[in-house]
Amino acid sequence: MRIPFIAGNWKMNTTATEAEKLVIEMLDNLDRIKGVEKVLCPPFVSLVAINMMLQDSFIKLGAQNMYFEIEGAYTGEISPLMLSELCEFVILGHSERRWYFGETDEIVNKKVKAALANTLQPILCVGERLEENEAGRTEEVIDRQVTAALNSIEPVSNLVIAYEPVWAIGTGKAASGEQATATIQFIRDVLTKLWDKSIAQDLRILYGGSVTSANIAEFISHPEIDGALVGGASLKAGEFVNIVEQAAEIKGRTRTK
């Protein structure tokens, strides 16, 4: 059974002081919600403090990026080994990394390998751009990104994939539940081809892109969609808690049917 999963990607927002305040605002209410794996991904500079704040909670911690080498002369980079003391998850291949910082499929593949080798669970992001979507090339792009990211990696169960169409990120224009479901089903087909059917059915696949408390139900009510990677809406405590509550409620209901 795939446990529903909601992660908040705070991106380059919050100072260390603001991040601690945001955690205090949501901690108790978030922690109370059962049946959903809850993950916060604050900026690197807040990981140590938030790791301590979450010690006695069921809320998990993730980083937003990392380099693929373990240590060495790579000024300014953060390694998987450093993260492995602090977090369980790491977002990799986010479209903002791909498009603003030139991360190629090959780099994403190296990062996925390095994360897995250091007990970090990747949240691997894939998604097509608007022009690719409009040209009917969504499946081609997704196939390439998933296949390249997992190149020469043995089947693993500690991997989460997030389908994030680039045109839906931060735009307020979310995909529809049907669109997201179709692409997520396609990702399972790609995983079946790469690995096998049982692992493709076991891995959690999320939707991301302008998810809010007003539209989470549309995604989470589809059995194929296991949760969400939430950007902007995860920076408001009440909004994020509401999203996780709805996910718990709807997935709990559909499961006991």
Contact 223, 257 (CB under 8 A): no
Strand partners, 89: 62, 121
What's the min distance (Å) between Cβ of 48 and ligand PGA? 23
Among the listed ranges 12-20, 112-120, 208-216, 236-244, the one in contact with ligand PGA (CB under 6 A) is 208-216
Using rule CB under 6 A, residue 227 touches ligand PGA: no
Active site residue 222: no
Among the listed ranges 30-38, 61-69, 149-157, 230-238, the one in contact with ligand PGA (CB under 6 A) is 230-238
What's the min distance (Å) between Cβ of 193 and ligand PGA? 26
Q: Choose between 69 and 160: whose C-beta lies nearer to ligand PGA.
A: 160
Using rule CB under 6 A, residue 170 touches ligand PGA: yes
What's the min distance (Å) between Cβ of 25 and ligand PGA? 19
Strand partners, 146: none
Using rule CB under 6 A, residue 124 touches ligand PGA: no
Among the listed ranges 187-195, 196-204, 225-233, 246-254, the one in contact with ligand PGA (CB under 6 A) is 225-233
What's the min distance (Å) between Cβ of 225 and ligand PGA? 15
- Binding-site member from 59, 190, 211, 243 for ligand PGA (CB under 6 A): 211
Q: Name the closest residue to ligand PGA (Cβ).
A: 231
Using rule CB under 6 A, residue 230 touches ligand PGA: yes
* Burial of 255 from C-beta contacts in 10 A (0-12 / 13-18 / 19+): exposed
Of 54-113, binders to ligand PGA (CB under 6 A) are none
Strand partners, 90: 63, 122
**HEC assignment per residue over the chain:** CCCCEEEEECCCCCCHHHHHHHHHHHHHHHHHCCCCEEEEECCHHHHHHHHHHCCCCCEEEEECCCCCCCCCCCCCCCCHHHHHCCCCEEEECCHHHHHHCCCCHHHHHHHHHHHHHCCCEEEEEECCCHHHHHCCCHHHHHHHHHHHHCCCCCCCCCCEEEECCHHHCCCCCCCCHHHHHHHHHHHHHHHHHHCCHHHHHHCEEEEECCCCCCCHHHHHCCCCCCEEEECHHHHCHHHHHHHHHHHHHHHHHHHHC
Q: Choose between 100 and 257: whose C-beta lies nearer to ligand PGA.
A: 100
What's the min distance (Å) between Cβ of 50 and ligand PGA? 18
- Count residues binding ligand PGA (CB under 6 A): 13
Using rule CB under 6 A, residue 208 touches ligand PGA: yes
Q: Which residue ranges make up the site for ligand PGA (CB under 6 A)?
A: 9, 164, 169-170, 208-211, 229-233
Which amino acids are annotated catalytic?
Answer: 94, 164
